[in-house]
Amino acid sequence: MARSRRPQQSSVPQEPRAPRAKGRGGAGDRPPAKTGDRPGPERDAGNAGGRERRGGRPQGEDPAAPAKRLELEPPGGARPRLVAPVVLAVSPGRDYELLDSGDGEKLERYGDLRVRRPENQAIWPRRLGAPEWENADALFTGDVEEEGLGRWQFPREPLGETWPLAHDGMSYLGRFTSFRHVGVFPEQAAHWAFVEDRIRRRAKQGEAPRVLNLFGYTGLASLLAARAGAEVTHVDASKKAIGWARENQEIAGLSGRPIRWICEDAVRYVEREVKRGSRYDVILLDPPKFGRGPKGETWQLFEDLPYLVALTRALLSDTPDCVVLTAYSIRASFYSLGAVMGEAFRGLGGAIEAGELVIGEAGEEPRLLSTSLFCRWIAE
């Protein structure tokens, strides 16, 4: 297991561009709604595949009482330059392929296994014939909603809960969960490569960039960042997800890398980091549309995201590198995400890219399957 590394305390006075906490303020949270396309945010900590996330009010509080939040100084200056739309596409490779999609499903290859799952975005007809689809090793059946309960069937031979996978030479475990997910989101590979490259550039100069990964799930982004030379703090409210991430660390052979595994509500952890004066060079955010924390906290993306993004601004170091935000299954535009980040990051300079993450099909005339929205601030 990796050595724990306590966040460093900053003794350097902060510039106006990094808003600091002045006290506790108020901001209302409303009752939770149906969750989106990330694994298990609406489930409690006991469910497999759950990614319980933080919201505003602990369970049992008066619903009419506003949640207390840190009062942050409003940023000043011009918004970072917006570059949009940007489409980041993942192409077929040795470790993963989108073999086909259509008629509300997708057929993928993870390593040696063919996996067939529902996909609401695939409203077009399939390209491959029925024999190809019927040759799947694993088939998810049940509720077709994004977070609907169901079960896996294994038509060819019984399979266990996990199976070995790899990404860019790093080993980890795929996992069949009751919410159609498999322990990895391949479209994120575009972000992983981007962050790894940014970290390696600084590592070559003798630096060890500090990375904060919020809603980190099974830890692939954290492991790849650590492999590239970063000191990583990984935060997720699900004990199971943290356990899976630690297991992936062992399998990847990265037990000696500096990764702190924090099982806690993401926003609550970030609030404490702001008050402690901790700073990070790279921050990753992958929040759900709706979620619950381990103590009954609720997260509503449309209500809580601006506050969380403002908190991440307060955590940036004096030499920040990038902040990456991904959002799944929300009725919004990437321009909205870019505007939220742009307002919070006033005066920082740099650029904000906003767009979609897509996966290209294998074969001739590949179609692009849209999976999520994103925006990312990049220092220049």
Tokens of 174: 């795929």
- Longest Cα pair distance anywhere in the chain, in angstroms? 65
Distance CA 21, CA 273 (A): 10
Q: Percent helix, strand, coil in the chain (nearest 5)?
A: 20, 30, 45
Distance CA 301, CA 296 (A): 16
Helical segments of 26-168, H only? 130-134
Q: Is there a cis peptide before residue 58, judged by omega within 30 degrees of 0? A: no
List per-residue pLDDT tens for the chain, 380 residues long.
Answer: 333 333 333 333 333 444 444 433 333 333 333 333 344 433 333 333 333 333 344 444 444 455 689 999 999 999 999 999 999 999 999 999 999 999 999 999 999 999 999 999 999 999 999 999 999 999 999 765 555 568 999 999 999 999 999 999 999 999 998 888 999 999 999 999 999 999 999 999 999 999 999 999 999 999 999 999 999 999 999 999 999 999 999 999 999 999 999 999 999 999 999 999 999 999 999 998 888 777 888 888 999 999 999 999 999 999 999 999 999 988 899 999 999 999 999 999 999 999 999 999 999 999 999 999 999 999 98
pTM: 0.83
Distance CA 128, CA 119 (A): 16
Distances (CA, A) of 281 to 195, 215, 312, 361: 11, 17, 10, 34
Q: Give residue 275's identity as a one-letter amino acid code.
A: K
CB–CB of 104/119 below 8 Å?
yes
Distance CA 296, CA 75 (A): 31
CB–CB of 289/298 below 8 Å?
no
Phi and psi of 67, rounded to 5°? -70, 140
Calculate ∠ Cα 87-93-99, nearest 5°: 80
Q: What's the pLDDT at 145? A: 55
Residue ranges of E strands in the chain? 21-27, 67-72, 81-90, 96-102, 105-110, 113-118, 138-142, 150-153, 162-167, 170-175, 210-214, 231-236, 259-263, 282-285, 290-292, 298-300, 322-327, 351-360, 368-378
Tokens of 121: 């975005």
Closest to 23 in 3D by CA, of 311, 308, 275? 275
Q: What's the pLDDT at 293? A: 78
Q: What's the pLDDT at 290? A: 84
CA 378 to chain CA centroid, Å, is 17
CB–CB of 137/149 below 8 Å?
no
Q: What's the pLDDT at 332? A: 92
Going along the chain from its start, the domains and CATH numbers come out as: 21-88+185-378 (3.40.50.150), 94-175 (2.60.40.1180)
Residue the block writes with tokens 């009752």: 31
